[in-house]
Each structure stands twice: as structure tokens, then as C-alpha cells.
Amino acid sequence: MKKCGKTSLTVIALVTLSILISNANAATITSCTLDRQIYNQGETGCISVTVYNDKDAKIRVYEITATINYFYADGTTYMQTFFTNATLPIEIPQGESQTFHIPFTLPTNIAPGYARFLVRAKTEIWNEAAQRWYQSENPTTEIFPYIESPYKQEFEQQQAINEQLQNQINEQEDTINQLQNQLKNLQASYNNMTLLVYIIVTITIVLGITMAFTMKMVTKPRATPQPPQ
């Protein structure tokens, strides 16, 4: 009985030790980036997180979150957590990585300046001896988006409106110039046509006079010669 008891204790100790060893350095976040660095109030964005398995066993990620502490313009704070859009859990084999995406939406009255996202990955590791999953590390990292001032947003929006109006004015001026050029071309064509009409009328009058004179000369009665007395 004592021998069996010692054997059982030894097996339990070995399993426990293998679990503890397996839990060490099971996962790390090797990359955490934003889809852009500057955001406006009320905008949506996305965080990309890469989890690497650096242990001699497969792991699985069962939760990926990004928690932000909002500082509102009136000075109050509010904490909100966003989750990945991936279907979890997702297994990561030994020595491989997996990238996750976390969409988020900023409040419309969030205070301008730098905000802080705390990104966390919750993982489990597979224990071959016990043939089951055990809780593993929860690696974390931080990322800092910049929230643009609403006054700058209004200024940029007004600048965009002014630029659009200026473009419309330029287009109208171009249209007016084109119409003026077309009018000049029409005036030149009209002048050429008028000159041509004058020339044709003049030629017609000259031809008429010439024909009238010719007809008069042709139809003029000739003197009949008198016989000698």
C-alpha cells in the first residue's frame, strides 16, 4: 500500500510539474497595430493583433479583447471593451502565429489627445500527458491612438467646403470662357458669312447691269440703209 501511495504521489507530481512547465511562455503578442494613427470623434477603426506560440505544445486563443479608458470632454471617464470578430477558440500550432482583428468605434464626445488601448489575449495550452486543455498565459500589450480635436475637424471641414466652392467657381469660369470663345467663333463666322453675302450681292448686281447693257445693245434698232437717189 505504501508503495502504491508513493507511486501515485510521484505520478501526480510529474503531471503537475509537466503542467507547470507547459504553462511557461506559452504565448506572446508579437505585433499590435492600428489601421491608422489619427482618428476623429465617432470614427470606427480596427486593431490587428498577432499571437505567437513559442512553446513545445499547441495552444488555443479563446478570447481577444481591447479595453479603452475613455476621457470625455467634460472630464468623466468610461471604460469599454471591444472583442475580436474572429470565431473563437482558434488553435495555434507550435512555432506558428495567428493574426486577429478587433473592430472598435470611438464615442462622439471623446476628449482629444492620446487614448490607451489595453490589448489582451487569453490562451490555453494542450497537455499531452493529461489529454486536456489548461489555462495558460494572458499576454497583454498597449497601443495609443490619437484623437483629433473637434475644432480642427471643423476647420478642415470648412476648408474642404471652401475648396469645393472654389472648384465650382473655377468650373463656372471655365464654362464662361468656353462660351465666350464659342461666341467669338460664331461672330467670326457671321462676319465671314456677311462679307460673302455682300460679295455675292455685288457680283449679282454687276452681272445684272452687264446683262442689261448687253441686252440693250443687242436689241437696239439699226438704221436701214436708203437706196441711192
Q: Which CATH superfamily is domain 26-148 in?
A: Immunoglobulins (2.60.40.10)
Q: Given this model, what pLDDT does residue 7 score? A: 45
**Residue carrying the nine cell digits 468656353:** 178
For residues 145 and 112, the answer to whether their CB atoms sit within 8 Å is: no
pLDDT tens digits, residue range 196-213? Answer: 888 888 898 988 888 877
How would you classify residue 196: left for phi > 0, otherwise alpha for psi between -120 and 50, otherwise beta? alpha
Cα separation, 140 vs 114, whole angstroms: 19
Average pLDDT, integer, range 158-182 = 85
Q: Which cell numbers hold the place of 48?
A: 490587428
CA atoms within 13 A on the CB side of 200: 6
Q: Given this model, what pLDDT does residue 92 score? A: 97
Q: Given this model, what pLDDT does residue 141 score? A: 97
- Among 58, 20, 59, 33, CA closest to 138: 59
pLDDT tens digits, residue range 37-54? Answer: 999 989 999 999 999 999
> φ, ψ for residue 122 (rounded to 5)?
-100, 125
pLDDT tens digits, residue range 2-37? Answer: 444 444 444 444 444 444 444 445 699 999 999 999
Count of beta carbons in the 10 Å neighbourhood of residue 88: 13
- The answer to whether the pTM exceeds 0.75 is no
Q: Where are the domains of the chain?
A: 26-148
Q: How far is CA 30 from CA 66, 80, 98, 119, in A?
A: 16, 24, 10, 12
Cα separation, 216 vs 204, whole angstroms: 18
